Amino acid sequence: MPKHYPTILDLIGNTPLVRIQHITKHLPTNINILAKLERHNPGGSVKDRPSLWMVKDGIKSGKLTKDKIIFDSTSGNTGIALAMIGATLGYKVRLVMPANVSEERKRMCKAFGADLVFSDPLEGSDGAILHAREIFEENPDLYFKPDQYNNPANPQAHIESTGPEIWRDTDGEVTHFIASIGTSGTLMGTGKYLKSQHYDVQIIAAEPDSPFHGIEGLKHMESSIVPGIYGEDGFDMKLGISTESAYEYTQRLASQEGILCGQSCGCALAAALQVADTLVERKKGGTIVCIFPDGGEKYLSTAVFADGVVFQGEGI
């Protein structure tokens, strides 16, 4: 291993897997839930991966030149990643995000030097997508738009990095893979890779169970603008998770596992526990890997932690 790295971007990927131990203590020993902690990427989320792949693809294709501004819509994490990458490589970055994203996300983007444009908070990520399209169409020659919802480099990042890491770190014993849905790139790309290694690996999508939800960054597909990279044939099952359940497990992860994370992680864990219960009923074992997209530092001012941690651990 080198003693130093050329840039911060060389630290993207190779995030750790950790076993959930206390919340899962009711499960038999032949069922394990492992969380892949994407907060360990330098930008703090899973979005570092596709953002880097999309920017590199833009440079390689000649679509991104030094006189262009990197520009996209985001609910926060992709924006942070693009801003970090832009700062590292010397590109200006402009982002459209809903005005109600957490203050921490806004400040992180600004700290990396990004210019922010805010869209209607009531229209969520779809509103940011539409507003970004309007801005881009006014002056397309000014911008390089990665278009994370439709860019094949998004899932490709997970085919080339996330999937192989999970296969390697579980010694090929992963039986179920779970990812919550935003752009769907993590689900589509990682799922495709794992299926190529062993077709019996079950790929499971976790999404909010209602169009009106509080799980920041996630999409309820039936009521949303569907990303071009998303496909129903890319997974075996979809589970709807309530905002209350996602918040509960996000809080419990902090207070019972020592894992401070965002509510999309609580959503993924809620889905993993449903899958585990099904395995118990069928008297089968399994290794369930779920993506924890980011850390909780960006959400301390939001509703999920607004009243402090509610669910306390019961001791070890």
Enumerate the active-site residues: 47, 264
Q: How many residues does the chain have?
A: 316
Rounded to whole angstroms, the Cα distance separating 179 from 205 reads 5
Q: Which residues are CB-neighbours of 74 under 8 A, at least 6 positions away?
A: 82, 95, 96, 97, 128, 148
Q: How many CA atoms lie within 13 A of 109 on its CB side?
A: 27
Rounded to whole angstroms, the Cα distance separating 12 from 18 reads 18
| DSSP one-letter code for 206 | E
Where would I find the H helices in the chain? 48-61, 77-89, 103-111, 124-138, 153-157, 163-169, 185-197, 243-257, 263-281
User: 300, 262 in Cβ contact below 8 A?
Assistant: no
